[in-house]
Structure 1
Amino acid sequence: MYQGGTANATASILLSSNESSSRNVTLSVSERYERDKRQQFIQERVIVSWAKAKGIWHDNLDTIKGKELFAEGGEAKVFANDGDTNVIKILSTEYFITPQFALDRITLHNTLFPGAALKITGFGRNSKGEFQFLVEQPFIQGTPATQAEIDEFITKAGFIKSTKDRGNTFFNDDLYISDLHDENVIKTPNDNLIVIDADIRLNTPELNRNGKYEINNSIISSLSVNNIINNMTKQLNQQEESLRVPSTSSKMSNKEWAEAVKKRQAITKAYESNYMKNL
């Protein structure tokens, strides 16, 4: 159920995220931003303490030793050498404000697109002091897919193309996916499409796409970071084995993928109830 590696699952549990099916949408955009900025400070502090204790914290996370800068965008730097089967990404959380939203995005990406699953291996700050995730992802060989191919690929999986957003945005009752353009979707030599990057969110009312999920990240302020970590250690150790979810082969055909995504709607429902509510 927890996809994205043990570090993803552990960090998510420590952040004590909570979801419910009703949402109060009376907050203005500026009020939501201020709320999320407050949560950002608390969540980053929790992850920093835990990551340092686990030895997966990195200061000055701007480059990867021994790796060449392969590509760079607004949200990520990608590193790889010739012949590598995986790429290493330094992901910025700035776009999502809170680390929890970024962790959720990774889990949702891996649920829908396991052929290019992201595995968190560490956390850090760059030289500007910005919070970063360190992740690995399979290197997908192929060529950029056309927008027509992407549209057909995603709509067959039960998503509707949005007419209110830019042309690479899709949604259904559960999820909202954008940024599905030719640089983020690769067509393999076997003519299968693999999504290597996308903005995936639970479909909330504030997106104005008939969404129904409330995201209400909360940390019990009276608990110290050390207390949170100590309280979770025993539970996390027991969960280590169950967190290892096998990924689906990137050789899955487009038809098989579409059928799998429809089945994974049940996983999304379970994700909502188990991952969000019961922590």
Structure 2
Amino acid sequence: MRPPHLLTIAGTDPSGGAGQMADVKTFSALGAYATSVVTAVLAQNTCGVRQILAMPIELIEAQLEAVFDDISIDAVKIGMIQDLPTARAVRRAIERYAPRFVVLDPVMVAKSGDRLVDSAGLEAVRDVLVPIADVITPNLPEAAALLGTTPPTSIEEMEAMLPRLGALGPGAVLLKGGHLIGPYSPDLLLSAEGTERLEADRIDTQNLHGTGCTLASALAALLPQRDSVSIAAREAKRYMSAALRDAGRLEVGHGRGPVHHFHRWW
């Protein structure tokens, strides 16, 4: 059988740890063939974002058509979407070509703290893209932004938030609890199979650049290769934990370094 064909729709990262670079590395590490559509070019590194240039909508549409017209895409991972026209263009392509799986990572703030989208971009993601996603993967600040509330500070508050995220219309929600404090990093998965908790030991590291991109991409890569969202999510979390655990070996940058996407090989 051929490997699954995946598409990342996201912004760039010249330092290689987040955005499309993280997506392509993750796809490749988990046995999938990577294609990409660039929504924005960023000047950023492990210390922060310096400049963002959104791609013209005509170029985004042309990229989408070029990929979908030629390649059978099994899963799409959507990352940085800055505005309503881009969100609508992506939705039109998803509805036209109907890939089997769509994973939406509602990217809003970089790990450096730099805000990547404004309120209009947030509304575009929530109202246009969330309803067509098979899985959304918000962290706690992103989930709070989607709902117009404050971030949860406990697992109980996460559990209370989960149905409200599900009411936005996605097929499933993977709510990431990495911002909580404690020895464990709990995620909550709401899907057609019910609600379950995914836990892993919290890893003491500053190398967190691109973690959100990486987990969402791992999920997108595994969904065509596994029998359920639950199995794919659990395996994606194990991959993420191992990539975090070995991140220090890379010694990249002076800020929040990247995770080690190829920890199994080198």
Query: Which TM-score band applies after superposition, normalised by the shorter structure?
Result: 0.3 to 0.5
TM-score, length-normalised on structure 1?
A: 0.32
Higher Rg: 1
* Higher relative contact order (Cα pairs below 8 Å, separated by 6+ residues): 1
